[in-house]
Amino acid sequence: MDFFETILWPLRWLVEVVLAVWHQLFTWIGMDAASGVTWVLSIIGLVLVVRSALIPVTVRQIRSQRRMMDLAPQMKKVQDKYKGKKDQFSREAMSRETMALYKKHGTNPFASCLPILIQMPIFFSLFYVLRHAAENKPGIGFMDESLTNSFNQAEIFGAPLKMTFTQGWESGQWVVVAMLGIIMVLMIASQFFTQLQIMSKNVSDETKNSSMYRQQRILLYIIPFAFLFSGVAFPLALNIYWFTSNLWTMGQQFIVIRNMPTPGSEAWRARQARLKAKGKLTEEELAVEEKRTTDPGQRQQPMSAKRAKKKGK
């Protein structure tokens, strides 16, 4: 057992528990224990458990990402203020002002990475669980010899779940190559669309004019292609897990953007229009929201008609 397997031992045990419970549930309702469909559904069940547990962290990440984008114009002012100044005093002063901005707006550059950082140990724990099963080695907990044999027999559309793209290519298992190729394309597309939702609909007009936004647009076309590596290096079962997780992210992002959009963004204007059409948005509330959008430093809260009337007295 190598170092990473050792430190991931508790997570591996939990992954085995969740997989075994879902697998037992599907076999209990009459599905074949060695069927690829049973195992795929068990993997999807694992995604549901993991992503449901991460909902609070993910919502925090989306809000932090939104604040970081809103900070772009103010960050540019700080950078312009110290542009060309390379002395120690100037660098420290710029660092202090930058950290003060992060503190004032309740965000930092690393908060947006938190969900992916939490998911990676779970992803690699599942990798070790499936790798041991593919090598006919029972797991450390609930993945016993019976479940290990069941997983090794599992196929979906004739493609063994334990096989990687490279193994399929070398052994002439073209159905594995084709399925993983399709999954890679779908993962790249889903990741691109997820980021595009943020960049096109959930960014304020002021932020779109900043240099940070233009840099983020470039990354939009680069980051999704990281899935080419996972598609080639990891087995079909693990890619199914990651693709399902991507679909969850895409749907969750849509819901969050629709209901908690960035003020001044396209999604925000669409939500304001929906609320106004339903009679749930008063003119006073709309005016306050517009004022807050045009004046980033003004952190006013929307007022109801009753509060606005009382204030005007």
For the segment 15-33, what is each residue's pLDDT rounded down to a tens digit? 999 999 999 999 999 999 9
The closest alpha carbon to 152, from 32, 234, 240, 39, belongs to 39
**pLDDT confidence of residue 178:** 93
Answer yes or no: is pLDDT of 40 > 60: yes
Average pLDDT over residues 131-144: 85
Comparing 46 with 95, the larger pLDDT belongs to 46
Which residues partner with 159 through β-bridges? 156
What band does 101 get if pLDDT is binned at 50, 70 and 90? confident
- Give CA–CA dist 217/233, Å, rounded: 28
User: 141-145, 157-161, 299-303: which has the highest mean pLDDT?
Assistant: 157-161
Specify the DSSP element, H or E, that contains 159. Answer: strand 159-160
Contact 57, 114 (CB under 8 A): yes
246/196: higher pLDDT: 246
What is the value of pTM for the model shown? Answer: 0.75
Going from the C-alpha of 182 to that of each of 46, 78, 221, the distances in angstroms are 22, 45, 19
Q: Which amino acid is at 26?
A: F
3-state secondary structure 285-313: HHHHHHHHHHCCCCCCCCCCHHHHHHHHC
Query: Is 35 exposed, middle or buried (CB count within 10 Å of its CB: 0-12, 13-18, 19+)?
Result: middle
Residue 148: partners with Cβ closer than 8 Å, 6 or more residues away:
132, 133, 136, 137, 138, 139
pLDDT over threshold 90, residue 46: yes
Structure tokens at 7: 């430190």
Look at the alpha carbons of 7, 12, 13, 14 in this order and tell me if their dihedral is positive or negative. Answer: positive
Give the pLDDT confidence score for residue 272 in this predicted structure: 81
Q: How many CA atoms lie within 13 A of 128 on its CB side?
A: 24
In angstroms, the CA 198 to CA 29 distance is 41
Distance between CA atoms of 146 and 184, rounded to whole angstroms? 31
Digit-coded pLDDT (tens) for 261-311: 877 778 888 888 888 777 776 555 555 555 554 544 444 444 444 444 444
Model confidence at 254, pLDDT cuts 50, 70, 90, reads confident
> What percentage of the chain has pLDDT greater than the value 90?
19
Q: Mean pLDDT throughout 202-227? A: 69
Q: How far is the C-alpha of 97 from the C-alpha of 153, rounded, in Å?
A: 59
pLDDT at site 282: 56
Identity of the residue numbered 235: P
pLDDT for the residue 35: 92
Candidates 44, 38, 12; CA nearest to 25 is: 38
| pLDDT digit string, tens, across residues 57-90 | 777 776 776 676 667 677 778 777 777 777 778 7
pLDDT at res. 114: 66
**Angle between helix 283-294 and 266-277 (nearest 10):** 170
Whole-angstrom Cα distance, residue 259 to residue 267? 9
End-to-end Cα distance, the chain: 73
Torsions phi, psi for 299 (to 5 deg): -95, 60
pLDDT at 286: 58
- pLDDT on residue 312: 46
| Ranges 9-18, 29-38, 99-108: which has the least confidence | 99-108
Residues in the chain: 313
